[in-house]
Amino acid sequence: MANLDYSTPEQTRRDLSRAVPLVGLPAWFCVSYWVLAAASFGAACAMTAWYAPIESTMGVIQKIFYIHLPSAINTFLACMMVFVASVGFLVQRRMWWDDLAAASAKVAVLLCGIVLMTGMIWGKSAWGVWWTWSPRLTFSLLLWLLYVVYLIVRASVDSEQRRAVVGAVYGVVAFLDVPLVYLSARLLTDIHPSSITLAPPMKLTLIVWFVPVTLLCGGLIAMAYVVQARRRQRTEALETGGPEAMNLSLLGEAA
């Protein structure tokens, strides 16, 4: 049976430092990380404005693609992180897996929201409508809704143990929509393009855009994780029952 003890501050700190590489690293690394993210974001914006050529068919609106695609890929990564953390919790019953899943879900909602908004702006300019119920758009909206509901469900459960179990099961099931989003434009008739041919400067700009978006995705998950873990610790400290509320032994034995 896995070690279910999550009751002491020392145990919590050990779990925090193991969970995400950014946690527990010196301040200079974290500052450098965010400076690099901001600088690469600025550089990518500059490349989009002055280096990437204007596409002949769609015109300047095609440049939305450079933020749209990296955001979509990182949405998938964040959803995968929720899935992995949910499975991790169900196997090990350690609460830091649950914190990681919740943090990743928040970032997934944010990134998926960016994908939807940039896609809608593109659609308005390219297709003349803000929204159409094509398979990829519908599955993408469903993905956003699934993870919004994930966060709402978590917030509505009072017991930490039950919230973690319900969240983990939900996180595993919600991930099933990710392959549907990916495959929908390839397997079904869809107004959304499944692949776009890019000139070399466009490819380079797109590759550069992956750097800030991926750094931001990872950094936001790490920060959201730290906030989630601190909130849990504070709740634990404030509760009169204290450590008993955090002990998962009963739940583990039942499983």
Decide: is 181 part of the binding site for other proteins (CB under 8 A): no
Decide: is 198 part of the binding site for other proteins (CB under 8 A): no
Tell me the window of 63-71, 76-84, 140-148, 157-165 that interacts with other proteins (CB under 8 A).
Answer: 63-71
Q: Which is nearer to other proteins, 110 or 164 (CB)?
A: 110
Taking alpha carbons only, the member of 79, 68, 125 closest to residue 104 is 79
Q: Using CB under 8 A, which of 35, 38, 129, 149 touches other proteins? A: 38
Buried/exposed 11-27: b ≥16 CB within 10 Å, e otherwise:
bbeebbeebbebbeeee
Helix (H) or strand (E) holding 229: helix 200-238
Decide: is 251 part of the binding site for other proteins (CB under 8 A): no
Residue 182 beta carbon to other proteins: minimum distance, rounded to whole angstroms: 21
Return d(Cα 188, Cα 134) in angstroms, integer: 9
Return d(Cα 132, Cα 112) in angstroms, integer: 17
Residue 63 beta carbon to other proteins: minimum distance, rounded to whole angstroms: 5
Cα–Cα separations (whole angstroms), residue 247 to 53, 104, 156, 232, 251: 58, 24, 20, 13, 9
Return d(Cα 106, Cα 7) in angstroms, integer: 26
The three-state secondary structure class of 59 is strand
Decide: is 166 part of the binding site for other proteins (CB under 8 A): no
Decide: is 205 part of the binding site for other proteins (CB under 8 A): no
Q: Using CB under 8 A, which of 16, 20, 52, 67 touches other proteins? A: 67
Judged by CB under 8 A, how many residues of this single chain contact other proteins?
44
Q: Using CB under 8 A, which of 22, 157, 188, 223 touches other proteins? A: 223
Q: Which is nearer to other proteins, 8 or 194 (CB)?
A: 8
HSE value, Cβ hemisphere, 13 Å, CA-based, for 235 = 12
Q: Do the Cβ atoms of 139 and 116 come closer than 8 Å?
A: no
Interface with other proteins (CB under 8 A): 5, 7-9, 34, 38, 41, 45, 48, 59-61, 63-64, 67-68, 71, 110, 113-114, 117-118, 121-122, 124-125, 213, 216, 219-220, 223-224, 226-227, 230-231, 233-234, 237-238, 242-244, 247
